[in-house]
């Protein structure tokens, strides 16, 4: 979204209707991803860690950080979507893209940090 769709929309190469569909699909993926990872991660955490090990170990801290980052990611995507969709409903593209760009950029940054966090957690499990 941040690298391909928003820059293309900012130049006016995408109309409001297709962009609205793309944003709808992004939201479905984002929301389902947050729910699925929270449920599966919560189950694994609940069966693997105690409260003490979750708070006092590196792996526990990485898991808590991942949970926090998922929530922050979802918030940024929702804020970006809200800013984008409000303008798209008025059949405007460039102004809503400009208004939502920062939220999507922050969501992208959080997702990269989340990948690093999960990578560190996985590497520690393998070693």
Q: What is the pLDDT along the chain (127 residues), one digit of tens a residue?
A: 888 889 988 888 888 888 888 888 888 888 898 888 888 888 888 888 888 988 999 888 998 899 899 889 989 999 999 999 888 888 888 999 999 999 999 999 999 999 999 999 888 765 4
Dihedral of alpha carbons 47, 51, 55, 57, sign = negative
DSSP 15: -
Distance, CA of 49 to CA of 90 (rounded, Å): 49
What's the pLDDT score for residue 109? 97
pLDDT at 75 (0 to 100): 93
pTM over 0.75: yes
What is the C-alpha separation between 15 and 124, in angstroms, rounded? 46
């Amino acid at each position: 979204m941040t690298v391909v769709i928003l820059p293309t929309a900012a130049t006016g190469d995408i109309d409001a209707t297709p962009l609205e569909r793309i944003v709808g699909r992004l939201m479905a993926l984002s929301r389902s991803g947050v729910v699925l990872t929270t449920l599966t991660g919560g189950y694994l955490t609940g069966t693997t860690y105690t409260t003490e090990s979750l708070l006092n170990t590196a792996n526990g801290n990485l898991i808590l950080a991942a949970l926090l980052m998922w929530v922050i990611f979802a918030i940024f995507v929702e804020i970006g979507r809200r800013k984008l969709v409000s303008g798209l409903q008025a059949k405007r593209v460039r102004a809503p893209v400009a208004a939502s760009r920062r939220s999507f950029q922050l969501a992208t940054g959080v997702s990269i940090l989340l990948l690093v966090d999960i990578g560190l957690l996985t590497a520690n499990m393998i070693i």
